[in-house]
Amino acid sequence: MEVVVCKTKEEASAIAAAMITAAVKKNPKLVLGLATGSTPVLMYAEMAKAVKAKKVSYKHVKSWNLDEYVGLAGTHDQSYRYFMNKNLFEKIDIQIKNTHVLNGLAKDPEKECAAYETQIRRAGGIDIQVLGIGSDGHIAFNEPGTSLNSRTSVVYLTPSTIKDNARLFFKGKEDEVPTRALSMGVGTICEARKCILLAFGKGKAEAVKGCVEGPVSQFCTASALQMHNDAWIFCDEAAASKLKLRKYYAWRSATKLGI
Ligand code: F6R
């Protein structure tokens, strides 16, 4: 696991975006796993900048998103499909037919999840998976107590996630946040060839500590990334503040990246 500690989230987002841009340039048919939430927004803006500057094209890239709320249509302004269209897909030259987000209105959610796994497999698996981290250590919506081998399925949000997401996206209205979601599993995520997790702000410091230095445990599902051999954690100083070896990680990753 490489932990890249940057002074600001702007700096971390730019470096992570450059990593994705370079990978798409190298393989124009890259398969991306994408995340929603407040954290990747700056990175997506940097990716869009590179497309605008004609440094890279997403024309042949395919994407699969991590999760979607149960009960929200893709046209709902709080759905993750809507978020992705607005924050990334409409700003790059990806073909919308090549973008995949779980259907929160699926009549048979378990069938929807199984089909999603099949689609990913048929595409040859995910090359780079983008991740955020919940303040309770979740990746995608894999809350504490989820098996680290879990596959894409219907999941149940914790009260703390509902609170976090209401604050950030539902104008504080907790009762409007769906309590269930469809989510890629931890096992599904860990099959990606590379994982890039972003974490910013002191509210994520405890979760980052659990992810990087805690025991591998279903209590902090992000800790499963310790078993992945190409996982990159991009943090600002606040999110890295509880890491015992933060100075060492910062030096090692900066040396490897040549930054
Ligand atoms: C979103 C997702 C979640 C978020 C996490 C952090 O697709 O899978 O795991 O990454 O809840 O959310 P933010 O970035 O809003 O703090």
The per-residue pLDDT for range 83-137, each reduced to its tens digit, is 999 999 999 999 999 999 999 999 999 999 999 999 999 999 999 999 999 999 9
* Phi, psi (degrees; rounded to nearest 5) at 175: -70, -10
Say what the pLDDT of residue 56 is: 98
Percent of the chain with pLDDT over 90: 99
Sequence-separated (6 or more) residues with CB below 8 Å from residue 19: 128, 196, 232
Active-site residue 136, yes or no?
A: yes
Say what the pLDDT of residue 1 is: 97
| DSSP at 110 | H
Give the pLDDT band (50/70/90) at residue 217: very high
137 within ligand 1 shell (Cβ under 6 A)? no
Give the pLDDT band (50/70/90) at residue 47: very high
Say what the pLDDT of residue 160 is: 96
Say what the pLDDT of residue 14 is: 98
Nearest residue (CA) to ligand 1, atom 3 = 140
Q: Which of 67, 112, 127, 191 is catalytic?
A: 67
Active-site residue 230, yes or no?
A: no
185 within ligand 1 shell (Cβ under 6 A)? no
Percent of the chain with pLDDT over 70: 100
Instruction: Please report which helix (H) or strand (E) contains residue 139, including its range.
Output: none
Distance 90 CA to ligand 1 centre (A): 20
35 within ligand 1 shell (Cβ under 6 A)? yes
Average pLDDT of the residues in 225-252:
98
36 within ligand 1 shell (Cβ under 6 A)? yes
Inter-helix orientation angle 9-26/41-52, to 10°: 50
Average pLDDT of the residues in 162-182:
95
Q: Which of 138, 164, 191, 236 is catalytic?
A: 138
Distance 138 CA to ligand 1 centre (A): 8
Say what the pLDDT of residue 199 is: 99
Query: Hey, CA dihedral for 57, 63, 65, 68, is it positive or negative?
Result: positive
Looking at every residue in the chain, the average pLDDT score rounds to: 98
Give the pLDDT band (50/70/90) at residue 30: very high
- Asked if residues 55 and 165 have their Cβ atoms less than 8 Å apart, the reply is no
State pTM to two decimals.
0.98
